[in-house]
Amino acid sequence: MTRYLAYTSPARGHLYPLVPTLLQLRDRGHEVHVRTLASELHALRAEGLSADAIASEIEDVPLDDWEAATPEEGLARALATFARRADHEVPDLEQAISEVDPEVLVIDITTVGAAAVAEATGLAWATSIPLFQHFSFGPEPPTQLTFVPFAIDPAGIEVLNAPRRQLGLDLLRGPGEVWRAPLLLYYTAEPFQPTGMRLPAAFRLVGPGIWEPPSQPPDWLEGTAQPLVLVSASSELQRDDLLIQTALEALAGEEMAVVVTTAAHDPSRFDAQANAHVERWLPHQPVIDKAACVVCHGGMGISQKALAAGVPVCVVPFGRDQFEVAKRVTAADAGTMATPDALKPASLRTAVHEAMNKRRGAEEIAASFRRAGGATAAADALQSLLTTDLEAGRPPRLPA
């Protein structure tokens, strides 16, 4: 038996993809501990995981990049958030390690303070990556892709170096030194992740982690007419309330059932037409299983959950990696994109109907996700940390 400790940022979109891997480890007889946002502890404990909250000071630092006026300002705000959280992550994870005495650490990619602690301990550790990583075109041939980490500018490198300096670790000198973990669990797969990527050898593309807290679907879902369209907003506050209101107007006169989950937004703000059910939270999976299309903001969680079920998506991206998600959805012919700047009921209605005809592309992605291995492949990789030369902890290098 091995004792694992997973440490996440205060975001459901970073916790939920990891949960199936942790449950797989639990089922194999390992002892699994989690430090994450306080609101999810009950659900995790109900699954048999030992879960405790990250420091409240970390949750008190919101990710406010959605308030930015430009992508550059958004990135600066995100980096500032990661830096402020890192100050608290360092002592928080150190205390968790003292209490749990783990043999393996699993660290969320955005918890840069926790990553520095993990490296400083000398323990076996891995990074969990539930969002797209960036890349650029290599010089030869022009279609070959070269991996580029998310924090490639001096400001990003300094955010990573601040906790390293505090812990006496060598400072990072550039993007090629960013990926320090001996194992990087990347929760996506081809063709959603473009083919031809020259990723560091420590990357494992395992497909999406699909999980949500167990709950009963509403009674009305069983008798809901077809076709059904799910409209879903982010669980983290963003400007995607525009998506909800526009979708309700666009689909009001259509012969379809519209199910809306408002998540971070108050459902009472929206006028539900006769063909719509509007609620803050609903279990997504049973709705997706009946859906002809999912309309969403392009978060990795909901987008990959729909595609994993072979359901096409209509993406209205608002920021972060959502434009990249939309780009890859359309490239795979697994859905459509509607731009938020020109979002109108008529244009969204057209995009939804076009997406409903792209099930074949979604089903091809679903088959590829299944081949990636999911939680089984991720758990295998984590177990290998203690049985292969990965445990030596040498940071992976970018390919030459």
Tell me how far apart the alpha carbons of residues 197 and 73 are, in angstroms, rounded to a whole number.
Answer: 28
Tell me, yes or no, whether 212 lies in a domain: no
In angstroms, rounded to a whole number, what is the distance separating the alpha carbons of residues 229 and 383? 40
Q: How confident is the model at residue 399 (pLDDT cuts 50, 70, 90)?
A: very low
Mean pLDDT of 12-22: 96
* 312 pLDDT more than 90: yes
CB neighbours of residue 289 within 10 Å: 13
| pLDDT recorded at residue 197 | 66
Same domain, residue pair 334 and 379: no
CATH number of the domain residue 181 falls in: 3.40.50.2000
Q: Please count the CA atoms within 13 angstroms of the CA of 367 that sit on its side-chain side.
A: 8
- Give the pLDDT band (50/70/90) at residue 37: very high
With respect to residue 398, please indicate whether it lies within any of the assigned structural domains: no
Read off the pLDDT of each residue in 365-378 and give the average, rounded to a whole number: 96
Domain region containing 273: 219-369
Peptide bond into 227 cis (omega under 30): yes
- pLDDT of 227 over the 80 cut: yes
Residues 152-170, mean pLDDT to the nearest whole number: 88
What are the respective helix, strand and coil percentages of the chain, to the nearest 5? 45, 15, 40
Written as six digits, the tokens of 165 are 């300096």
Judge if 158 and 89 occupy the same domain: yes
Same domain, 300 and 360: yes
Average pLDDT of the segment spanning 2-28 = 96
Look at residue 150 and tell me whether its pLDDT is greater than 50: no
Claim to verify: residue 70 and residue 149 sit in the same structural domain: yes
Say what the pLDDT of residue 65 is: 75
Give mean pLDDT, residues 338-359: 92
- Shared domain for 183 and 63, answered yes or no, is yes
Same-domain check for residues 379 and 362: no
Average pLDDT score over the chain: 87
Q: What whole-number distance in Å separates Cα of residue 214 and Cα of residue 216? A: 7
Burial class (CB in 10 A: 0-12, 13-18, 19+), 168: exposed
Neighbouring C-alpha atoms within 13 Å toward the C-beta of 136: 8
Residues paired with residue 197 on neighbouring β-strands, in sequence order: 145
Assigned domain for 231 exists: yes
Is the model's pLDDT at 220 over the cut of 50?
yes
Q: Clarify whether residues 277 and 380 are in a common domain.
A: no
104 lies in some domain: yes
Whether the predicted pLDDT of 43 surpasses 50: yes
Q: Tokens 């939309």, residue?
A: 326
What are 399's two structure tokens? Answer: 């390919």
**Looking at the structure, do residues 195 and 234 belong to the same domain, yes or no?**
no
- 173 and 245 co-located in one domain: no
Q: What is the pLDDT of residue 390?
A: 45
Beta pairing partners, 104: 4, 124
Number of domains in the chain: 2
Confidence grade of residue 338 (pLDDT, cut at 50, 70, 90): very high
Q: How confident is the model at residue 144 (pLDDT cuts 50, 70, 90)?
A: very low
Q: What ranges make up the beta strands (E) of the chain?
A: 3-7, 31-36, 50-53, 104-108, 124-129, 135-137, 145-147, 183-186, 197-198, 203-205, 228-232, 257-261, 276-279, 293-296, 313-315, 335-337
Higher confidence at residue 343 or residue 376?
Answer: 376
**Same domain? 253 vs 238:** yes
Q: Is residue 397 part of a domain?
A: no
With cut-offs at 50, 70 and 90, classify the pLDDT of residue 148: very low
Residues 257 and 186 in one domain: no
pLDDT value of residue 193: 83
**Looking at the predicted structure, is the pLDDT value of residue 400 above 60?**
no
Mean pLDDT confidence for 64-85: 83
Residue 225 and residue 361 in one domain: yes
Q: Measured between alpha carbons, how far is 367 from 386 in angstroms, rounded to an integer?
A: 31
Does 163 reside within a domain? yes
